[in-house]
Structure 1
Amino acid sequence: MAQILLLHSVLGLRPLERDLASRWQARGHDVALPDLYGGGFSDDYDTGFRLYEETGSEMVTARARRAHAAAPGAVLVGISMGTAVAARLWTPQTPGALMLCGVAPPISAPPPGMACAAHVARPDPFDEDGDIDDWAEALDAELHLYADIGHLFIDPNHPDHDAAAAEACLARADAFLDRF
């Protein structure tokens, strides 16, 4: 089974991430779940972005790097902002990256042969430039689009939640992770 490093959204470490970790642990995976904000979390994006700014990009990345150092061969799973953090971590030893509710900006090219899948809302309010398709093509990634739903559609505790899309996304995510 896979070793997974799960990186939370801009809202911080919330029940969504803990529930996903439990789900994947029940399937036999080993899941690391770092708190990139050191305890802060929110239910709305404005406060989440303030938390990110207050914590600082350098601290968020440093906390993620410490977690990754303990699991260097882990499959990286990012939720929303966590996808960008994941892109800062991938190395030639990274077997895969799973992007949920967003895609990583092209911070660095992924290692050759790294499996990559993305699950995003269409349209996505955080894809102002419309480059999700370009991103998927550049990374040779599996791209799963979910029409007419909110950005954080997999979170049952968020107004963006869409039960049918979440179920489809998580079934595909399970299958992706089971490959490792």
Structure 2
Amino acid sequence: MAEILLFHHARGLTEGLCAFADRLRADGHTVYTPDAYAGRVFDNDEDGVRHAETIGHDAVAHVGMRAARKHPAADVVIGFSLGTMQAQLVAQHRRGIRGCVLMGGAMPPEHLGSAWPAHLPLQIHVADPDDWCTTDDVETLRRGAPHAEVFTYPHRGHLFVDPTLADYDADAADAFEERVADFLARIDAGRAEPARVTL
């Protein structure tokens, strides 16, 4: 089973994300939930983004790398929106990572100081359309990771996976969780081979 670092979105470590982490634990995985906001949770994206900007990009990134050092056996990273930067950073710079899941965010690998590791399995999930993570954002990462699995969710809100937020969509969230569960099972079985991109 996987040891997972799960990085929260701009609203903070919500009850919805904690519940998802608990479901992963119930499947037998070990899940750590680093909190860049030290317990604060925000009612809207704008306040959350403003708080992240106050903390600073470097400090948020540091939380991700510090979590990776604290949990050296962690081998899968999952990031939501703001947390995709942390997940992608750890995936690109820590040895031993076996898989990465990004939900609602993607960056060009070179913006994080290195190329995407060859053959590192990657899943990207994004609403369509999504003002916070555009098709161009996804494509800039996919150029560096052409084997990535990309799943789009038409006519859903940015954070459709979190039941504590207005964007929540049960059907899309269930599809996301099923795809992540399948990805983790394939990683455990050593067969997380590239799948066809669905963009």
Q: Same fold (TM over 0.5)?
A: yes
Which residue of structure 2 aligns with residue 88 of structure 1?
89
| Unaligned runs of at least 5 residues, structure 2 | 189-199
Distance change >3 Å, CA 15–CA 146, structure 1 → 2: same
- Work out the CA distance in 2 between the residues paired with 1:137 and 1:85: 20
- Work out the CA distance in 2 between the residues paired with 1:167 and 1:136: 24
2:84 aligned partner, one-letter code = T
Contact 1:41 1:51 in 2 (8 A): no
- 1:113 matched to 2:119: yes
Once the two structures are TM-superposed, the CA of residue 47 in structure 1 deviates from its matched residue by 0.4
Show CA shifts across 1:85-108 (max 9, x none).
112212232111011122244323
Which residue of structure 2 aligns with residue 130 of structure 1?
136
TM-score, scaled to structure 2: 0.84
Which residue of structure 1 aligns with residue 183 of structure 2?
176
1:94 aligned partner, one-letter code = I
- Work out the CA distance in 2 between the residues paired with 1:165 and 1:126: 18
Show CA shifts across 1:15-74 (max 9, x none).
122111100000000001111111222121110011101222222222222211122342
Show CA shifts across 1:96-125 (max 9, x none).
101112224432322222110011101111
Which residue of structure 1 aligns with residue 196 of structure 2?
none
Percentage of matched positions with identical amino acids: 36
Which residue of structure 2 aligns with residue 101 of structure 1?
104
Moved beyond 3 Å, runs of 4+: none
Q: How does 1:1-180 map to 2 (within 5 A)?
A: 1-72=1-72, 73-90=74-91, 91-106=94-109, 107=112, 108-128=114-134, 130-139=136-145, 140-178=147-185, 179-180=187-188
1:25 aligned partner, one-letter code = R
SS at match of 2:43: coil
TM-score, scaled to structure 1: 0.92
Once the two structures are TM-superposed, the CA of residue 128 in structure 1 deviates from its matched residue by 4.8
| Unaligned runs of at least 5 residues, structure 1 | none
Contact 1:86 1:104 in 2 (8 A): no
- Work out the CA distance in 1 between the residues paired with 2:43 and 2:36: 16
Contact 1:76 1:86 in 2 (8 A): yes
Once the two structures are TM-superposed, the CA of residue 158 in structure 1 deviates from its matched residue by 1.0
SS at match of 1:131: helix
